[in-house]
Structure 1
Amino acid sequence: MNSLAKILKNAQALWPFYIGVIITSAIGAALALASPFIVREATDTIVSALRGDEIIRTALTTVLGFALLLLLADALNGVVRNVGGYIGDVMISRLRQILSTRYYAKLLSLPQGYYDNQVTGTIIARLDRSIMFITQFLQSFANNFFTMLIQVIAILAITAFYYWPLAILLAILFPIYMWLTALTSRRWLKYEKTKNEHIDVANGRFAEVVGQMKVAKSFVAEVRELDVFSKHYREYVSTTRPQSRWWHTMDTFRSLAMAVVFFGIYAVIFWRTLEGHFSIGDMVMLIQMVTMAKQPVFMMSWMVDSAQRAIGGSREYFQVMEHDVEPTVDQTLIDATRAINEPELDTSQVQPLPLPDDVSEPIFEFDDVTFAYEEDKPVIQSVSFTAHRGEKVALVGESGGGKSTLVNLMLGLYQPSHGTLNVLGHNANDLTTARLRASVGVVFQEAFLFSGSIRENIAYGKPDATEEEILEVAKRANAHEFIQAFPQGYDTIIGERGLRLSGGQKQRVAVARAMLKDAPILVLDEATSALDTKSERAVQAGLEELMKDRTTLIIAHRLSTIANVDTIITLDKGAVDEKGSPAHLSTTGGIYAQLLQLTASTSEADRERLKKFGFSHETESRTEEEVTED
């Protein structure tokens, strides 16, 4: 229960709701307990009248008065119960808001390495399950069980006043039932963990396939994916069988144990009544109270089960919350992960670092940088190079040679294992990730657009951009013409990941997005590799416009796109092989010179070798019209 207490403690902003729940529960319990006393008095009045001890007409008036009191008690109890239910519902919704916001803030602040080992659907499923179990338990406790708990304490006190062995018999029920339920839950939770693992894998794959349905269909993998999905759910059902069998077997023993104890309770009440220790009214009242105590006992197994689920869910929740955040994460996210109230977030655009006053100072510099995703397995080793204001630097090397890793370091997604990365005169390790990334614009190989309108996607890096600014960058990115051709223009909804746009259109929107961000450093991560030549020309024209007056780091898939860069860095197994201008490196016999030869070759073997470097053969990418023109 420590995890649940920790959640309530961390949500101290809800203390007015806690007090409201306690007060309404106490009042509701008192009103519910009033009924047996009223019934007792009415019963004794009726018995007395039937014996002739009291006039029937007088007794009738008295009994009707008691009936009216019962009406008032029941009506008030209904009002109080619903007021308490309202308070509990709002409290739980606020708690869900706090827990979800903090969880999301935590996910946003975690390093990229965390996501390298996760499946998106699984992350979402764990969030839903954890918070659902936590809030479900607390809502049931607040709306129902807490009131019953107060009633049980009062009933034990009242029965002890009348006859203490009766209270002991009633009290014995609870530890026996809780012990049997806890014993049952231990094994039950092991089964539940196995079921959750199958659900997480199945739903994680489900989310992946739905997100990439075009790929699944194009490879005729629908039946195969369905089979994998259904197998996990078959395992889910197979695990449910022994789990349910165990639970209901133990529930039978719990019911038998409870029946034996209640037999003893009723026997004592009847015996004491016959002996004259209890009046008929006392007997009716005590039986009512014992019956009222039954419901919490029956609910106890469900509450213990819910508590176990909530505890398990809260462990998953806190496992994520205890992960280390990015070393230089923005303080706003850190504050949001600790917030007990809805955080006041500063959503204004983070400003990029200014250009150094000294023109000769490098814009970015890799100084003896080494990095490994796994310990003792470096991907890049002792990489050193610089880029000055307005220069274009291209990275060339085999696929898996460390080019994208250098880009990831530039974006602050990872930090160097050794060495220093300086950006705009600052050590990247000394900058917040927000300030570093605000200073770097990027166009990825895949556009990564969001659902929503084209306007929203272009303005993603600058949400307060004016209409004129959006139109200007769209025109410069060669995107305005095709956007205007849509009936809704810039308000066209493009669907998840921009599925309504072609590859070239998506990439031009991405170029416009990077233009509007207006960062002093630009990263082009194979930005035209997935395009046909016609689309590439349109995108390349936009990229040329984007690169004006910016220092650019380029990963290219065609030599023609880096022929005019200032410096080429060739990488061999994660280490720098050569540095120099295209003209110089074309004469050294190194990797770049070899690539030039391979590009000119028509040999199939040379083409295959070229692909290892992530380059396509120049003639392969030309359109049919271009070949005809030749």
Structure 2
Amino acid sequence: MRSIARILAATRVLWPYYTGIVVCSLLTTATALVAPFILKEATDTVVGVATGGPADGVIRTVVWLAVALLVADLLSSTVQNVGGYLGDVMASRMRRMLSTRYYAKLLGLPQRYFDNQVTGAIISRLTRSITEVTGFLNNFANNFFPMLLTVAAVLVISAGYSWPLALLIALVFPVYVGLTALTSKKWQALEAQKNEQVDLAGGRFAEVVGQINVVKSFVAERRELRLFDRRFARTVETTREQSRHWHTMDAIRRAFLNVVFFGIYVILFVGTAQGRFTVGDMVLLIQLVAMAKSPVTMMSYLVDTTQRAIAGSKDYFEVMAEPADRDEPLLLTADALDEGRDDDSPATAVVPVAAADVPDDGPVVEVRNVSFAYEEGAEVLSDVSFTMRRGERVALVSESGGGKTTLVSLLLGFYRPTAGTIRVAGCDVAEQPLTELRRRVAVVFQEAALFSGTVRENIAYGRDGATDEEIVDAATRANAHAFVSAFADGYDSTIGERGLKLSGGQKQRIAVARAMLKDAPILVLDEATSALDTKSERAVQAGLDELMENRTTLIIAHRLSTISSVDTIVTLRDGRVDEIGSPDELATSGGIYAELLSLQASASRKDRKRLRDLGFRA
């Protein structure tokens, strides 16, 4: 239960709801306990008249007792529904809080975490774990907690009539819980196996839906369906073992309950026959025993949902315990949202960075003796050094897999160098806040990476709060305004998931407009035109030329014509710097760039193929 306690502690801002639920539970218990006493009094009154007692005023008495029973039932129903309302709202707010914090945590985790996760599994974990925790607490607040309070009251009242009776009732719970605890360890282990398969199935499901065109083009629908079904088939086999174990233990528990309640009824019936209890006492105690029996018979369900909630909360806290990217301003935003406040702090808002934020004379970007490996012992970069000054255009050139994109990831702080330093605007990337670092850099990736929604929303993603005029201006400069205006809904046209309604060239021009709107002093073009046809590339390149004006630009390009117009070329061979110089200098040096130019100039089909194999086009 410590995991559940951690959930309650993490959502302590909901204490008014917790307090209200406790008060309503106490009142529900009190009003529920009034009814047996009223029935006891009515029973004794009626039995007294039936056995020859005085009949004066009996009718008035029993009518008032019936009225009292009605009032008690109405109060109980009202208070119970108020408590139910508080429980429902509490669970809904808790779900919002836990989900928002989980999302904020994910957004603040380093890239390495996502490299080792399946996207669908992350989504499945959010849905399953938080739903199970909040569902349990909602049920507990609305049903189980009032019942537990009722049981405690029943024990106290029963002890006043017969201590053996109270002892038997009290014996039920520790023994039952003890027997249940015997099943917990194995049950949770099996539940973890099921959750793993469900998460993997959900992860694959999300991947397939996201790339359904690839699945269909390779006629892999049946294969994917078999893999999906196989995951759930394993959960069925695990459930057989889990359920067999659980219900065997439950049969033993219930047999124990039957024996205990047999003893309770014997005490009541014999005591009444011997005159120790009146008929009204017996009616009262039978009702109290029934009130205690109901929670016991529901104990299996309570324990079952508790175990699921504990398992779900463990998954939740495992993610929350992951080390952050460096700083976690988003968790502050989540806490503000928990309290009903919006957070527009500079730590989370995307604002333009003036060019003055980068030095005029010193290096804007300085890579010094940088080495990096995704896995220990397999270096991708080794002792890489180069600098970029204000307004300079630098191209990274290497064969495919030479470490160009890795350098971009290091520059953006997605990973940390295993050795060496990268300085941006005079600050070490490893030391400055990531939000500050990334505000200074705009990136146009090879894949446009658009979101579902409208054209306007995707361009405005570059800067929160951008005006319509700024959005249109960015689109115009990116050579996108013409085709956007031709859409029926213009900038309010929806583009579908990942921009599937747009062509490749259109998507890239939207991505360029988004980068323009960000207006960062440092620009990274990560193979931004490599996947486009010649016509689309020409349109996108016009936008890129506009974007590169007065910016320090790092270019990863697969067209030699693009590389030839830069100020400096840095060539990489096997993860090391091979040459640094201007295009003219490296054209005659005999290095990688010279080799590429030679292959481009050759009319040989073999040389042309070699150029393509290296990942370049003329």
Q: Give the shorter-chain TM-score range.
A: over 0.9
Shift of 1:609: 3.2
* Counterpart contact for 2:351–2:463, Cα < 8 Å: no
Q: CA deviation at 1:78?
A: 0.4
Report the equivalent of 2:68: 69
What is the match of residue 203 of structure 1?
A: 202
Distance in 1 between residues matched to 2:449 and 2:52, nearest whole Å? 90
2:602 maps to amino acid:
S
Q: Are 1:381 and 2:382 matched, yes or no?
A: yes
Residue 514 of structure 1 deviates from its aligned partner by 0.5
Deviation of residue 354 (structure 1)?
Answer: 4.6
Distance apart, 1:472 and its partner CA: 1.3
Q: Is the contact made by 1:159 and 1:286 (CA closer than 8 Å) also made in structure 2?
A: yes
Asked if structure 1 preserves the Cα contact closer than 8 Å seen for 2:359 and 2:426, the reply is no
- TM-score scaled by length of structure 1: 0.95
Higher mean displacement: 171-180 or 549-558: 171-180
Inter-partner Cα distance in structure 1 for 2:245 and 2:80: 35
Equivalent residues of 2:351, 2:518 under 8 A apart: no
User: What CA distance in whole angstroms lies between the structure 1 residues aligned with 2:53 and 2:312?
Assistant: 63
How far apart in 1 are the matches of 2:337 and 2:9?
Answer: 12
Q: Is the 8 A contact 1:387 1:393 kept in 2?
A: yes
Q: Provide closer, same or farther for how the CA distance between residues 105 and 215 of structure 1 changes in structure 2, counting only shifts above 3 A.
A: same
Q: Which residue of 2 aligns with 1:218?
A: 217
Separation (CA, whole Å) in 2 of partners of 1:298 and 1:83: 25
Q: Equivalent residue for 1:578? A: 579
CA distance in 2, matches of 1:607, 1:301: 72
- The Cα shift of 1:357 comes to 7.6
Residue pair 1:461, 1:516 contacting (<8 A) in 2 also: yes
Partner of 1:421: 422
Structure 1: segments with no counterpart, 5+ residues: 619-630
Deviations 1:167-213 (A, max 9, x none): 11111111121122222233222222111111111110100111111
Percent identity between the two aligned chains: 58
Residue identity in the other structure for 1:323: E
Corresponding residue of 1:26: 26
Equivalence for 2:289: 290
Q: Is the CA contact 1:106–1:337 (under 8 Å) kept in the aligned structure 2?
A: no
Per the alignment, do residues 333 and 165 of structure 1 end up closer, same or farther by CA in structure 2, a change over 3 Å counting?
closer
Aligned position for 1:599: 600
Q: Which runs of structure 2 are paired with 1:244-259 in the superposition (5 Å)?
A: 244-259=243-258
Q: Secondary structure at the match of 1:355?
A: helix
SS at match of 1:43: helix
Q: String of CA shifts for 1:254-298, please: whole Å, max 9, x gaps.
A: 221111111000001111111110000000110111011111101
> 1: distance between equivalents of 2:603 and 2:283?
101
**Residues 92-103 of structure 1: pairs in structure 2 closer than 5 A:** 92-103=91-102
How far apart, in 2, do the equivalents of 1:430 and 1:168 lie? 65
Which amino acid counterpart does residue 51 of structure 1 have in structure 2? T
Tell me by how many angstroms 1:603 deviates: 4.3
Give the match for residue 368 of structure 2.
367
Residue by residue over 1:201-231, the C-alpha shift from the partner in whole angstroms, topping out at 9 and shown as x without a partner, is: 1110100111111111122111111111111
2:187–2:246 CA contact under 8 A, matched in 1: yes
List gaps (5 residues or longer) in structure 2: none
Contact 2:104–2:330 (CA under 8 A) maintained in structure 1:
no
Counterparts of 1:159 and 1:425, CA distance in 2: 78
Give the counterpart letter for 2:401 in structure 1. G
Provide, for residues 102-154 of structure 1, a one-character-per-residue CA deviation record: whole Å limited to 9, x for no partner.
Answer: 11111111111111111111111111111111111111111111111111001
The one-letter amino acid of 2:74's match is A
Q: Identify if the C-alpha distance between structure 1 residues 144 and 447 changes in structure 2 by more than 3 Å, giving closer, same or farther.
A: same
Render the CA deviation track for 1:329-384: whole Å, top value 9, x for unaligned.
Answer: 35354563698634641253344365368632111110111122223322111111
1:301 alignment partner in structure 2: 300
Please say if residues 351 and 464 of structure 2, whose CA atoms lie closer than 8 Å, have aligned partners that are also in contact: no
Contact 1:394–1:555 (8 Å) recurs in 2: yes
Contact 2:477–2:513 (8 Å) recurs in 1: yes
Shift of 1:408: 0.6
| AA aligned opposite 2:167 | I
Instruction: Describe the SS at the equivalent of 1:430.
Output: coil
Alignment of 1:455-534 (within 5 A): 455-534=456-535
Moved over 6 A (4+): none
Distance 2:587 2:307 in 1: 68
Partner of 2:413: 412
Q: Which residue of 1 aligns with 2:40?
A: 40
Matched to 1:439, the amino acid is R
Alpha-carbon deviation of 1:463? Answer: 2.4
Partner SS for 1:429: coil
RMSD of the TM alignment (CA)? 1.7
Partner of 1:271: 270
Q: 1:342 to 1:609 in 2, by over 3 A?
A: farther
- 1:511-556 deviation line (CA, Å, top 9, x unaligned): 0110111100100000001111111111011111111111100001
Residue of structure 1 equivalent to 2:329: 331
Amino acid of the structure 2 residue aligned with 1:535:
S
Structure 1 residue 425: Cα displacement = 2.1
Matching residue's letter, 2:236: V
Partner letter of residue 231 of structure 2?
H
Give the letter for the 2:47 counterpart. V
In the other structure, the counterpart of 2:80 is 81
Structure 1's 607 and 175: CA in aligned 2 closer, same or farther, altered over 3 A?
farther
Give the partner amino acid of 1:419.
Answer: G
TM-score, normalising length: structure 2: 0.97
Q: Which amino acid aligns with 1:515?
A: M
Once residues 190 and 358 of structure 1 are traced to their aligned partners in structure 2, the CA distance between those partners, rounded to angstroms, is 57
Aligned 8 A contact 1:390 1:549 in 2: yes
* 8 Å CA contact 1:330, 1:433 repeated in 2: no
Q: Distance between the aligned counterparts of 2:375 and 2:85, measured in 1?
A: 51
* 1:441 corresponding residue in structure 2: 442
Measure, in 1, the Cα distance between the counterparts of 2:118 and 2:197. 13
Aligned equivalents of 1:357 and 1:334: distance in 2? 28
Residues 1:358 and 1:491: Cα distance change in structure 2 (over 3 Å): closer
Shifted more, 348-357 versus 502-511: the winner is 348-357
Q: SS of the residue aligned with 2:298?
A: helix
Q: Hey, what's the Cα distance between the residues in 2 that align with 1:343 and 1:103?
A: 18
Out of 43-52 and 596-605, give the one that drifted further. 596-605
Structure 1 residues 353 and 175, CA gap change in structure 2 (3 angstroms): farther
Per-residue CA shift, 1:557-614, capped at 9, x if unaligned? 1111111111111101111001111111111111111111222335454344333432
Given that residues 586 and 592 in structure 1 are in contact (C-alpha distance below 8 angstroms), is that contact kept between their aligned partners in structure 2? yes
d(CA) in 2 for partners of 1:338, 1:143: 28
Question: What secondary structure, in the 3-state scheme, does the structure 1 residue paired with 2:443 have?
Answer: strand
Aligned residues of 1:29 and 1:148 also touching (Cα < 8 A): yes
Measure the CA separation in 2 of the matches of 1:608 and 1:192.
54
**Residue identity opposite 1:144 in structure 2:** N
State the partner residue of 2:541. 540
CA–CA distance in structure 2, aligned partners of residues 350 and 286 of structure 1: 71
Decide whether the 8 Å contact of 1:351 with 1:435 is kept in 2.
no
In structure 2, C-alpha distance between the alignment counterparts of 1:304 and 1:333, rounded to whole Å: 32
> Match for residue 626 of structure 1?
none
Secondary structure in 2 matching 1:379 = strand
- CA gap of 1:260–1:567, structure 2 versus 1, over 3 A, is same
Aligned residue pairs total 615
| Rounded Cα–Cα distance in structure 2 between residues aligned with 1:603 and 1:313 | 62
Equivalent position amino acid for 2:128 in 1: R
Letter of the 2:512 counterpart: V
